[in-house]
Each structure stands twice: as C-alpha cells, then as structure tokens.
Amino acid sequence: MSNVFVGPGVLNGRITPPPSKSDAHRALICAALAGKPESVQGLEPPFSEDLLATQSCLAALSQPGAVLDCGESGTTLRLILPIAAALGRQSRFVGHGRLPARPLREYEQILGPHGIEFNFPAAGSLPLTISGQLRAGDYALRGDISSQYLSGLLLALPLLEGNSKISLTTPLESAPYVEMTLNTMRRFGVKVEQSAACSVSGGQFVVSGGQKYQPTAYTVERDYSQAAFWLTANFSGSNLQVAGLSADSCQGDKKIVEILAEFSSGQAAGRSLYTIDASQIPDLVPIIAVAAAQLDAITTIVRAARLRFKESDRLASTTAALNAIGADVNETDDGLQINGGDYNRRLSTGDHSHTAPVFTGGIADSAGDHRITMALAVAALRSKNGVTIQGAESVRKSYPDFFLEFSRLGGDVNGLDLG
C-alpha cells in the first residue's frame, strides 16, 4: 500500500478533467458491437484500470469460453454480462478487490428465465460462468439496486431477434446514467422507446429486436465526477479554471456545480441546514462531504445506501477518513450527517480568511477507494498539518494522473511515485 502526504495550500492554474469513464464504457461497448472500436475518440493514456478492463473484456467476447477479467470494475461486469448472454457466448467472469463480493443474484433472477444458466458460488458472486442463449421477452427488474443492470439490458436486447419490454418495479436511482446509455445507443443507430417515466414504479422500455449498432465517430465527454474534486478545491479557496466540461451534458454528476453554488449562497445567507438526496449522484458523496465539512451548517446526505457496495463501504470509509483528520461526520443507515465547523474553527484560531484551516490533518485510510483518496487530497488543502493518505495508489482505478496534476497545479504532494 502506498502513502502520499498532501500539505495545506492553494491550487492555481488550468485543469482539464479526464474523459468521462461512464461515457467511455458505453461508447467502447457500442463501438465494439458496431465492429469499429477505433471510432471512439477523446481517450488518451494513461487509461484508467476500469476502462482497460472493459477493453480487455470486449476483446475476449470474440472467443467462446473465454475468461473475462473485469478487474475491480462493477460497470464493466454489469454492462458486458448481458451482452455476452445476448451473443450466446459461454463466458467466465472474474474480478478483483471488492468486486467478487458484490451480489449478482439479481442477474440470475433477471436473465435466468430467459435462457441463461448461471454457475457461481453459493454466495452469488464472482467467479461466475454463464451459458445459453438469451431470449427476447418481458423483463422485470428493480430500479433501486443499480442502474447498471438496466443499462446492460438496454445495450444487449437490441441484438436479439424478437422484441422485448423492460418494466421497472421500483423507481429508478442513478437515472442520468440510463439517459447516458440511451443517448450513446442513439448515436450508434439503436433506438429504445421509453413508455413511462423512470421516476415512478412501472417505468417501461420497449426494445425492438434485430437492430444493428452502426459505426460512427464518437468523442467522449470530459468527466464531471472527476471535475468535482477540482471544483470543490475552488470552493475551498483555490483558483482553478476547470476546462472542457459540456454544459449540455446529461452526466448526473454535473449536479456538483449546483450543490457547491447552493452551499456558497446558503452560507452567505446564514443558512444552517442542508439536505442532499444522493440517489441520483452516489459517486459525489465523498467530495460533497468534504465541502459540507467546511460549512457553518449541518448537512444530511440521504438515499445513499448503495454506496456500501462500492470499492469500499463508502459511507463507513468516508466517515472514518474525514473524522481521522478532524471532521465531525456521523454515519446513518442510508447516508451521512456532516456537522460543519468552518465558522467556529476560524473564530477559535482568529484566522478569518477563506483558506483558514478547517481540518486538523493527520493520517487517513482511503480503504483502497479512489474517490476517498481524491476527496482526502482536496480536504488536505484546508488542513492545518496536512494529510497522509494511506492507499493512495487507488487513483489508478479512475484517474491515474490525479496526483501529477495536483502537483502541477501547486499542490504539496510527497511520498508517492508520481511517474
């Protein structure tokens, strides 16, 4: 495990976030199904471990009986598994880190009645072998387990000969990711009819069979989920120009712009309570918690229970990491309560500048989670003594150049091989 020390300070300069990992997963899959994987533009090395896993699995799909190594990427697994089933390819899926512990029984319930046989441990997780040929028909699934189950089905069902219908039995969470899936499919010539709203139980999607993905030039958007760390650094007193983001993006994590603006205006007006519904933006929770800890207010994050099944239990790991450096965060059943202390701490220190320390600093464990690592780095900017982040190499999963960029922008970074 690698440690990195990040000292207090201010970042300055221009930063362009990496391509959207969520957008890239979908574009790479559609391009591969169109027979032109090279048509996806806007990706540049170093590639995240998640995208490398998707590229590797797509290449392996052409080999019946191949082992598809999803690494630690839940997105890779959930989007590609239904496609392998639709192609009738016997496939063995494996993974690493916490991915083998993530539950997969839902896929057996969704795909099993439609011709797919599952062979996996009693725990219902990886390693998993599927066989059989997926059949068109009526599918029912919950919308509150993971939007990736729905996105995977949407990508796969057009490959079948017959028509299919997907019915949601609960309201859909992380709905913007499904919108992203549908938008990408349309760009590659595949259409889906949405016959009811996703926000209510009973939402439906009608998928015509016999469709073919068509080659097209596709440029991946820049990533709001990674930009969130730089935008929060600005909220914390840095002076960054965050470039390349599309104002018209359907990325759900674009919500960070609105949340930070709400925090700023609320503090100016003396607001003392905030509630953030994270059901559509779960990946933002760690960095929202860092911003909220800097407020003279109590912030409650709700509807985030699915974070317990990410690279770490993100509710527990965010709580432990931020409390280790002097924040006051309480874990709830489905979220977090952050008791901010910016105003009181500035009173106690006599320092009334916007960059006065909020966190004491110290040693914090990222739990091997890339989003916890990057959130801690941003928190360190407003710390008194700096933060030593354990497991900092986890950024390779989604943003390999994060610390290089952090250092380039003037951050005090030591202890990690940044090459």
Each residue's pLDDT tens digit, 135-158? 999 999 998 888 899 999 999 999
Confidence of residue 106 (pLDDT cuts 50, 70, 90): confident
Q: Give residue 164's pLDDT.
A: 97
User: b/e string for 1-23 if b means 16 or more Cβ within 10 A?
Assistant: eebbbbebbbbeeebebbbbbbb
Among residues 283, 342, 365, 369, which one is catalytic? 283
Each residue's pLDDT tens digit, 16-69? 999 999 999 999 999 999 999 999 999 988 889 999 999 999 999 988 788 999
Q: Give residue 199's pLDDT.
A: 56
Q: Give residue 10's pLDDT.
A: 96
Q: Give residue 150's pLDDT.
A: 95
Distance, CA of 220 to CA of 358 (rounded, Å): 36
**H-helix or E-strand spanning residue 330:** strand 329-331
CB 358 within 8 A of CB 385: no
pLDDT above 60 for 353: no
Q: Give residue 196's pLDDT.
A: 61
What is residue 417's three-state secondary structure?
Answer: coil
Each residue's pLDDT tens digit, 281-334? 999 999 999 999 999 999 999 999 988 878 889 999 999 999 999 999 999 999
Q: Give residue 342's pLDDT.
A: 56
| Sign of the CA dihedral running 15, 359, 273, 320 | positive
Average pLDDT over residues 165-169: 93
Q: Give residue 202's pLDDT.
A: 62
Distance, CA of 226 to CA of 223 (rounded, Å): 6
Distance, CA of 187 to CA of 184 (rounded, Å): 5
Helix H, strand E, coil C: the string for 69-95 is ECCCCHHHHHHHHHHHHHCCCCEEEEC
Each residue's pLDDT tens digit, 52-64? 999 999 999 988 7
Distance, CA of 47 to CA of 33 (rounded, Å): 21
Each residue's pLDDT tens digit, 113-130? 999 999 987 677 899 999
β-pair partners for 116: 132
Phi first, then psi: give them for residue 274, nearest 5 degrees.
-135, 145
pLDDT above 80 for 81: yes
**H-helix or E-strand spanning residue 396:** none
Confidence of residue 343 (pLDDT cuts 50, 70, 90): very low
Q: pTM of the prediction?
A: 0.87
Which one is predicted more confidently, 266 or 202?
266
Strands (E), 366-419: 387-390, 413-414
- pLDDT averaged over every residue in the chain: 91
Q: What is the DSSP string of 117-157?
A: EEE--TTS-SSEEEEE----SEEEE-SSS-HHHHHHHHHHG
| Cis geometry, peptide bond prior to residue 18 (ω within 30 degrees of 0) | no
Of the candidates 341, 301, 306, the residue with the CA atom closest to the CA atom of residue 319 = 301
Each residue's pLDDT tens digit, 195-243? 765 555 568 999 999 999 999 999 999 999 999 999 999 999 999 999 9
pLDDT above 60 for 354: no
Q: Give residue 310's pLDDT.
A: 83
Reported residue count of the chain is 419
- Is residue 283 annotated as a catalytic residue, yes or no? yes
Q: Give residue 200's pLDDT.
A: 55
CB 30 within 8 A of CB 213: yes
Task: Identify the weakest region by mean pLDDT among 56-65, 232-241, 257-266, 370-379.
Answer: 56-65
Q: Give residue 98's pLDDT.
A: 83
Of the candidates 241, 307, 268, 245, the residue with the CA atom closest to the CA atom of residue 15 = 241
CB 154 within 8 A of CB 186: no
pLDDT above 60 for 267: yes
Task: Identify the weakest region by mean pLDDT among 93-102, 161-170, 221-230.
Answer: 93-102
